[in-house]
Amino acid sequence: MKSNRGIGLYVHVPFCVRKCRYCSFYSEPVGSVDTGGMVSAMKAELGRYELGEKVDTVYVGGGSPSCLPPAELFGLLDEITNRCTDLKEFSVEVNPGQVDGEFLCGLRERRVSRLSIGGQSFVDEELVFLGREHTADDILRTFEFGRKAGFSNISIDLIFAIPGSTVDFFRYSLESVIALGCEHVSAYSFSIEPATAIGRACEHGEVVKVDEETDRAMYEMAIDELEGVGIVQYEISNFASEGFECRHNLKYWSNDPYVGIGPGAASYFRGERYNNIADIGKYCELIENGKSAKVDGHRCQGVEAACETAVLNLRKRTGICLTEFAERTGYDAMELFGETVERYVREGLMEVSDEDGGRICLSRKALAIADGILCDFSSV
C-alpha cells in the first residue's frame, strides 16, 4: 500500500457521565477514574509517535471528551497542537448539556476548527429511551454556543430507526437539524448491540426493532431532505455542504494511515492494524512503564489490503477511482472484482464510469443494502 497523504490522529477519551443504553464503545463513568492520570498517559503515548507535521487531521472523540474537567481536556488539546503543527482540520466531539460558551471559546483558542455535536434525536422521548443525558433544547443551545464561539464548521449526529420511533419523529429531527443550518450531518441506522442495556432488553422481548421498510424509508428521507438543502451525501452515513466533508473520516474510507491514542483506540499505521487495550487501568500501567498498549496487531498486505481498500472506498459516493486504486495497491480493480461488479451493474446496484480515470460506485438503489454488497468485495 502506497500513500503520500497526511496521517490522521484519533484521540479516544474513554469517559462518559453515564453509559448510554445503546452504546458499545469502550468508556467508563468519569467519576470513577483518575482522569488526570489517564490524560497524562495519553500525552505520553502521543509523544512516542513523534508525528509532528505529518499529522494533518485530528479527531478527539469518545466516550465524551466534553465530560472531562476543562483544564484536563484543554491540556490534552494543547499537547496535540504543540506536537501537530500543520493541521488542516481539528475536530472535537461534545455532548449537549455538558458545555457552555466559555468552554467552546476555549476549544477555539486551541485551534479546534470543527465541532461535532452528539445530538442523536430532537425528540425528547427518544433521547430518554437512548439514555442520553440531554434534551432537544440542549442541542439547540449547544449549537448557538458554538456559533457564538466562532465555529463555522459544525456537525450534528442523528440516529434513525430507534425502537418505538416513527417516520414523523425522524422527519422532525431532520427538519430541526436543517433549520439550524449546520454544515455536516451524520445519520446512522440504530444498531442493537448485544452487550448493551437495550441489547439485553431486546433479548427479553422488551424492545422491538423497527421494521426494515420503515428503516429504509427513514434513510431515503434523510438523503432527499438533506440533499434538498445542499447537504449532500458523500458517504453512506454522512452528508455535508460543499467543502465541509470531514477530512479525518475520509482518511478511514480512503484507507489512509491514522494513529489512535488512548484505551480502546484503533490505528492503521505503517501497514498494520491494531487496537490499544480497552482497559484504563492496564493502559495507564503499560504506558507508565514504557510499554506498548497495543493488542490485536495484524499486517494487511497484497490482495487482502486491496480488498480492504475496495470495501472502504465503496462507502464513499465517489466509490473506487480505478487509477488511484492501481497506484496505491498495485492491482487492477476490474480484474480483481470484474465479475462481481458486472453482476451488480446488471442488477442496477453499481455504476461504472470513465470519470476521473474510471470509477466504480454504488448506485442510489444500493445504499440501503450496502453492507451486504460490500461483503462481496472483502475477498477474491
Q: pLDDT tens-digit profile of 85-140?
A: 999 999 999 999 999 999 999 999 999 999 999 999 999 999 999 999 999 999 99
Give per-residue pLDDT as tens, 291-318: 999 998 999 899 999 999 999 999 999 9
- Decide if pLDDT at 373 tops 70: yes
Residue 348 in domain:
yes
**pLDDT at site 50:** 84
Specify the pTM. Answer: 0.95
Query: Three-class SS string for 96-114?
Result: CCCCCHHHHHHHHHCCCCE
Give the CB-side neighbour count of residue 376, counting CA atoms within 13 A: 15
Read off the CATH number of the domain in which 126 is found: 3.80.30.20
3-state secondary structure of 189: strand
Residues 6+ apart with CB under 8 A from 215: 160, 161, 189
- Decide if pLDDT at 1 tops 80: no
**pLDDT at site 5:** 79
My answer on whether 96 and 222 are in the same domain is: yes
- Decide if pLDDT at 2 tops 80: no
Judge contact between 185 and 177, C-beta under 8 A: yes
3-state helix, strand, coil in the chain (%, to 5): 45, 20, 35
Q: Quick one: DSSP state of residue 358? A: -
Task: Kindly state the average pLDDT of the residues 249-257.
Answer: 96
Give per-residue pLDDT as tens, 195-206: 888 888 888 888
**What φ, ψ does residue 238 adopt, rounded to 5°?**
-130, 140
Task: Kindly state the average pLDDT of the residues 328-355.
Answer: 96
My answer on whether 21 and 134 are in the same domain is: yes
Domain end among 234, 253, 272: 253
Residues 287 and 279: their CA atoms lie apart, in Å, by: 12
Give per-residue pLDDT as tens, 43-100: 999 999 988 789 999 999 998 999 999 999 999 999 999 999 999 999 999 999 999 9
My answer on whether 111 and 51 are in the same domain is: yes
**pLDDT at site 4:** 62
Q: Quick one: DSSP state of residue 271? A: T
My answer on whether 228 and 82 are in the same domain is: yes
**pLDDT at site 158:** 98
Residue 148 in domain:
yes
My answer on whether 116 and 177 are in the same domain is: yes
Residue 182 in domain:
yes
Question: Which one has a higher pLDDT value, 206 or 168?
Answer: 168
Residues 157 and 120: their CA atoms lie apart, in Å, by: 5
Residue 276 in domain:
no
Least Cα distance to 17 among 7, 9, 27 occurs for 27
My answer on whether 356 and 234 are in the same domain is: no
Give per-residue pLDDT as tens, 199-246: 888 888 888 899 999 999 999 999 999 999 999 999 999 999 999 999
Residue 273 in domain:
no
Residue 230 in domain:
yes
Residues 250 and 312: their CA atoms lie apart, in Å, by: 10
My answer on whether 234 and 155 are in the same domain is: yes
Residue 59's domain comprises: 7-253
My answer on whether 90 and 189 are in the same domain is: yes
Residue 1 in domain:
no
Task: Kindly state the average pLDDT of the residues 340-354.
Answer: 97
My answer on whether 202 and 115 are in the same domain is: yes
- Decide if pLDDT at 23 tops 90: no
Q: Tell me the average pLDDT of the chain.
A: 95
What would you report as the CA-atom Rg of the chain, rounded to the nearest whole angstrom?
Answer: 21
**pLDDT at site 3:** 60
My answer on whether 209 and 342 are in the same domain is: no
- Counting residues of the chain whose pLDDT is more than 70, the rounded percentage is 99
Read off the CATH number of the domain in which 360 is found: 1.10.10.10
My answer on whether 167 and 315 are in the same domain is: no
Task: Kindly state the average pLDDT of the residues 13-24.
Answer: 86
- Decide if pLDDT at 279 tops 80: yes
My answer on whether 249 and 308 are in the same domain is: no
Number of domains in the chain: 2
Residue 287 in domain:
no
- Decide if pLDDT at 189 tops 80: yes
Helices (H) and strands (E) counted in the chain, each on its own, are 14, 17
Q: How far is CA 287 from CA 27, 46, 293, in A?
A: 18, 10, 7
